[in-house]
Each structure stands twice: as structure tokens, then as C-alpha cells.
Structure 1
């Protein structure tokens, strides 16, 4: 018979990358972790990890076992939450991964509303430019710029938003206000560090002005906005993030503007958990109130 605790330990080793880190995560010593993995391999009649002095490497059997172990883990989490939350208020922790601007300008300023609704609920907001893996449990749910291509995930569109070309008032006083694409020649632009941008959709400059002269790159949209406001040059910024920044001016909004979309993604087995539904409802309410800004 398979032991569900051993299966969850197996998943922890996969996610941490080695047995020592997995042992620290679950509060066991390394020898206990190795012994329990050995018991699991004996029960299955296969080798799950190749051992070497440098660590462990998952075998093909491990990859075959992973989706089944994840379903068992999800069912155990759902079962525990269903019983625990039946007679008490929603509580626990939800980790939400979102792009930086979504986190800073939409979620964080209104997080007190979620706290007022559910005082026992803790929101962990992971604002990142890279794609978060829900299958590896890096987060419980995520806001992404495009639907994931595959996996046991539930996806729905939240809203469209706009990226526009901006400069500071001081920069435009020095260099003039561009009125046509030809006027943009010779201007310095700011953009993302491409290999650190998890979503190509973040980089509007490549779509609208390929070959533009770039004088500053950053992995952060906030850093780009700060540099534009300081007079560094021109950049495509989130329109909703600039609305309260009087230093910035949008340039050629009819021509130099693109639309992107936000998508809410969660693991299909977690969507039934009360705390996950509570955060999803909170995000939906925010989107309804923010559509004019987006």
C-alpha cells in the first residue's frame, strides 16, 4: 500500500531539487527522508531517483508518478479544508503570483478590503516578471498575461489593459513633443531586460518600434517608470500605473498604444477551497471597479 505522506515527501523532493532541502522543508533529518523514499520505491517496485554525490535526479518513473501524486495531494488539501472550514470563518494562507504592476497598483492598495472580509486569511503576494509554475506549487493561484498552454489548470480572462508611450514633462521640455513616428527617431527608449521578462507580451517596444535605441533596461516596470519620470527617455508603461503621476505625459495615444490581457489561473483541484474562492472573488470585485482605469 502506498503512503500518502511518502507521496507528498516525494513531491517536496521534486520541488526542492534535493533531499537535504526537502528534509529542511518538512522538518526531518536527511536519513529519514532517504529511508522513506526507499520505502516508496520498494512499494512501487521502481527507482524514483538516481543518487549521486551531487544530489538526486528524477527518473522517468518519477515523472510518470508526479501527476498522480499531485492529484492525491490536492484531494487531501481539499478534504482537510472542507472539514476544517465547515464550521468556522475562512482562514489560512493563499499565495498569489502576479505581474509587478498588477500587484503594486491593483492588489496591494486594496488588500485591506480582503482583510476586512476575512480577518483570518493571509494573502502572500508574489509580484514577479517571470512565469510562475502552479504545478510545482510555487503559488496557489496566479494572474498571467496569457493562458497557460496545458496542465490541470482553470483559466479565465479578468480584463484587458493598455500600455502607452510615456515621457516626463521635463524631458519633453528639453526635446520637444513627438507628434509622428518620424519624430521618434533619435529619442532614447527604456525597456525590459528581455531574458528576464517571463512574458514577451510585457515588451511593447519590440512590437511598435522595433530597432529603437535603448538606453536603459530593467526587469521591473516600476524601475522603468521611475527612470522615465526622472527624464531618462521614453517607455511603454501601464496606463493605469501612471494616472496619479503628474510628472508623466502620454505620447501619441492613438498610435503608440497596445492592449494586453490579464488571466486568472489556478489549479483545478484547489479552486474548490474556500480560501481560494475568497481571493478569486476579491480579484473579480477589484476588476469590476478598475475597468475604467485599465
Structure 2
């Protein structure tokens, strides 16, 4: 007979990435986790982990055991909620990686989730590559910018983010860049920027474009436009809602990148992760979709 506590520890170990992290989450010592998983493998009669150059990963039998453990956990949670015994729910923790090109533009959406789910504590990390952060287990889930879903990850495509040229009303009123779009002074991304989407934007400029300044982050790019230093390509879902910004270049439908919410495909979702993915998908899809017609 398989012990549920052993399955629960196996689930925690896979989600955490290693025995030490699982022990910390479960508030037990590492040797106990290892002993329980050895016992589980003995009960099932098959190995649950295999080793590669990248570390340990669940075997086919391990993946099946994870599916069952995840289903059992959901049933146990549902039973506890149905009985409503008044017990205080244990606070969950979620490590979230957000694409650095989005700056703080999604913080209001994250705050809205935190308001409705005070039982979930978030650690929010800005990352040049959120997908890689998730693959390497530095984060549980990522808000990623990618043309297609990366390998070894699962999740949902929220929508396509697009860019267009913008300038501040005060900058245009001064006539600083002349009348034509090609005569504007543009804010460009510095050549050593580590952000792939910003490098993509910068590649659209011709060599002879007039340059007002170089920046290396989304927040600096938007701030430079707002402070009337010059014009720049900005996210339409952000800039179109800024009263002091004016779109000065038409939207190019061929220029855009998809926003995804992604997690590892070999790790069952726990309650915080599942709740976040459901909430943020609906929230951001509505927000981005409203701006898609731009």
C-alpha cells in the first residue's frame, strides 16, 4: 500500500527542485525527505528519478506518480474546503519571473491578484529571460515574451504585445524633431542591452536615424519619452493610455511579440501556481485585447 505522506513528499521534492528545498518547505530535515522517497520507490517497485547532465528528472513512472499525487492533493484540498472545518489555510508561496522589457507595467495586475489571494505570497523577479529562469527552477512561473512556447514549458499564450512610435506632447509642441516622422530624434537601446525584445526594436532603425539618447531598460525608455528627450517605440497597451503621449508612427502589424504565462511541463502545479495562472491569464488577456485594435 502506498503511503500518501510519501507521495506528498515526492510531489514537494519535484516542485521544489531538490530535497533540501523540499525539506525547507515541509519544515522537516533533508534526510527525512530522502528516506521517505526511498520508501516510496520501494513500495512502487520502480525508480522515480533518473539523472542527466542537467540534474535529476522524473522517470516515466515518476511522472505518472506525480499525476496521481497531484490529483490526490486536489481532492484533499477540495474535501477540506467542502467540510469547512474552520482551519486556517497554510499560506502558499510563488516565485514569479517577469520579462524585464515589461518594467513595472504589470505590477497593478500582480497587485490585484495579491488582493484577492492574500493566502499566496509572491516573490517577483525581473528577468532578461523568464523562460530560462523557470527551466532552471529559479522561478516557479514566468511572464515571458516569446514568438513561440519554449521547449520543456507549458502554459498559455495571453496575447500579442505590439509597439509603435510615440512622443510627448511637450516635445512635439517644441518642434524639436521637425514635422516628419523620419526627422524625429529617437531614443535607442544601447548596443549592449541584455534585453532581447529591446534589441529587436532597435534593429528597426536605419543607420542614419537621428538619436537623442541611448538607454538600457524599458523603464528608462518610457521615462525618457515622458521627459520629452525624444521619441521611441513603446508598448501600445501602455502608451495608448498615457494622456501626455502621442502616437507618431503607424502600428506595424508585423512587429510584435507574444506574452506567455509558463511553468515547467514536468512539475505539477500547486494551488498558488494554478490560481495565479488562471487569474493572470484572464486579467491580462482583457487588458491587452482592449489595446490590440490600436
Evaluate the alpha carbon distance shift between residue 94 and residue 250 of structure 1 in structure 2; reply closer, same or farther with a 3 A threshold.
farther
1:63-212 aligned within 5 A:
64=59, 67-68=63-64, 70-86=66-82, 93=92, 95=94, 98-99=98-99, 104-105=104-105, 108=108, 111-112=111-112, 115=115, 122=120, 124=122, 126=124, 128-129=126-127, 130-132=129-131, 133=134, 136=137, 138-139=139-140, 142=143, 144-151=145-152, 153-155=154-156, 157-169=157-169, 173=174, 175-177=176-178, 179-181=180-182, 183=183, 187-190=186-189, 194-195=193-194, 197=195, 200-201=196-197, 203-209=199-205
Instruction: Determine whether 1:217 maps to 2:206.
Output: no
Evaluate the alpha carbon distance shift between residue 46 and residue 252 of structure 1 in structure 2; reply closer, same or farther with a 3 A threshold.
closer
Instruction: Determine whether 1:284 maps to 2:287.
Output: no
Evaluate the alpha carbon distance shift between residue 227 and residue 150 of structure 1 in structure 2; reply closer, same or farther with a 3 A threshold.
same
Q: Distance in 1 between matches of 2:67 and 2:200?
A: 38
Secondary structure of the 2:166 match is: strand
Deviation at 1:58, TM superposition (A): 3.2
Q: Distance in 2 between matches of 1:234 and 1:140?
A: 34
Gaps of 5+ in 1: 51-55
Q: Distance in 1 between matches of 2:278 and 2:98?
A: 13
For residues 182-215 of structure 1, give each alpha carbon's deviation from its aligned partner in whole angstroms, at most 9, with x where no partner exists.
x36x7551369643x3xx4454424522657672
Q: Distance in 1 between matches of 2:142 and 2:83?
A: 25
Note the aligned Cα RMSD (angstroms).
5.0
For residues 195-250 of structure 1, give each alpha carbon's deviation from its aligned partner in whole angstroms, at most 9, with x where no partner exists.
3x3xx4454424522657672212xx223212332345443211222245455443
Q: Distance in 1 between matches of 2:69 and 2:105?
A: 34
Report what 2:10 is aligned to: 7
Evaluate the alpha carbon distance shift between residue 106 and residue 37 of structure 1 in structure 2; reply closer, same or farther with a 3 A threshold.
closer
Q: Distance in 2 between matches of 1:146 and 1:84?
A: 41
TM-score by length of 2: 0.62
